[in-house]
Amino acid sequence: MRTKLLFAIFFVLLAWGNVSAETCTESLTDQSKPAELVKCLQQLEKNIEKEFQNLKLKALPIGTIIASMLEFERFQNIAGNAWKPADGRKVSAKSKYATLTGNTTLPDLRGMFLRGLNQFDPVKGPRLDKYKDPDGSRRKTGKPQEDATSLPKNKENPFKGNAVSAGDHSHIYFKARREGGRTGSNERSSSEGSSTGSSGSHTHTVLITAGGDSETRPVNIAVVYYIKID
């Protein structure tokens, strides 16, 4: 009787928390073996943990984006249909996300980093220091920004490049000379070739068109982004 009373109290708490106890207790009696009780309690513990996780996710507002190490099937098993992968998919126009944002297409965050807008609250105003987004007010939530490469901020390690040749070169030129005696019919002129010195070292503007990696990126870890829609 004591065992049934304890389980009765336990189930009241479960019902209040909307946690399913399934049917593991239907065959329990005062004579049930300890192993049966342990198995049932373990099942209840899993259900409670799942429900607590679900309650925490439900408390988050619509439009919240979270990063997870779980693939969609496992994540949805915990979070339910209120969350969807932020992969550019269409959602119902009746979803709370669509109602609040006026948009039925989720942001596509596959392969993307997240970056804060310059301004979150008009009262606070935009960010104006060196960490601001140079695109400023043109940025909108959910809109991508193309990649870009700035000059290095570290002046001790700037971009460098060299022309194929160092630039030293010489020119061949001809100078005239006279041959023969005094000016007259026997006089003739000729020329001889000479070259300049190789002091023509100079600089070139270098356009870097090849080499490097496929993109510029910081060190990162891959995650899956989910967004709450209901």
How far is residue 224's CA from residue 123's CA, in Å, rounded to a whole number? 33
Task: Specify which residues 224 forms β-bridges with.
Answer: 68
Domain stop point among 58, 76, 101:
58
Neighbours of 227 (CB within 10 A): 22
Domain ranges, residue 71: 61-142+218-230
Sign of the dihedral through C-alpha 54, 56, 60, 64: negative
Burial 183-210 (b: 16+ CB within 10 A, else e): eeeeeeeeeeeeeeeeeeeeeeeeeeee
Q: What is the pLDDT of residue 43?
A: 76
Q: What is the pLDDT of residue 16?
A: 47
Domain stop point among 38, 58, 78:
58
With respect to residue 74, please indicate whether it lies within any of the assigned structural domains: yes
Say whether both 47 and 80 belong to one domain: no
Query: 35-78, pLDDT tens digit by residue?
Result: 777 777 777 777 776 676 666 777 889 999 999 999 999 999 88
- Within the chain, which residues score under 70 in pLDDT? 1-32, 49-50, 52-55, 158-207
Say whether both 66 and 133 belong to one domain: yes
Say whether both 8 and 31 belong to one domain: yes
With respect to residue 109, please indicate whether it lies within any of the assigned structural domains: yes
With respect to residue 191, please indicate whether it lies within any of the assigned structural domains: no
Q: What is the pLDDT of residue 109?
A: 95
With respect to residue 223, please indicate whether it lies within any of the assigned structural domains: yes
Task: Specify which residues 83 forms β-bridges with.
Answer: 228
With respect to residue 206, please indicate whether it lies within any of the assigned structural domains: no
Say whether both 84 and 122 belong to one domain: yes
Sign of the dihedral through C-alpha 107, 76, 50, 221: negative
Say whether both 46 and 117 belong to one domain: no
With respect to residue 38, please indicate whether it lies within any of the assigned structural domains: yes
With respect to residue 19, please indicate whether it lies within any of the assigned structural domains: yes
Q: What is the pLDDT of residue 167?
A: 59
Say whether both 20 and 92 belong to one domain: no
Domain count, the chain: 2
How far is residue 95's CA from residue 109's CA, in Å, rounded to a whole number? 20
With respect to residue 229, please indicate whether it lies within any of the assigned structural domains: yes
Say whether both 47 and 83 belong to one domain: no
Say whether both 122 and 138 belong to one domain: yes
Domain stop point among 15, 33, 58:
58
Say whether both 70 and 134 belong to one domain: yes
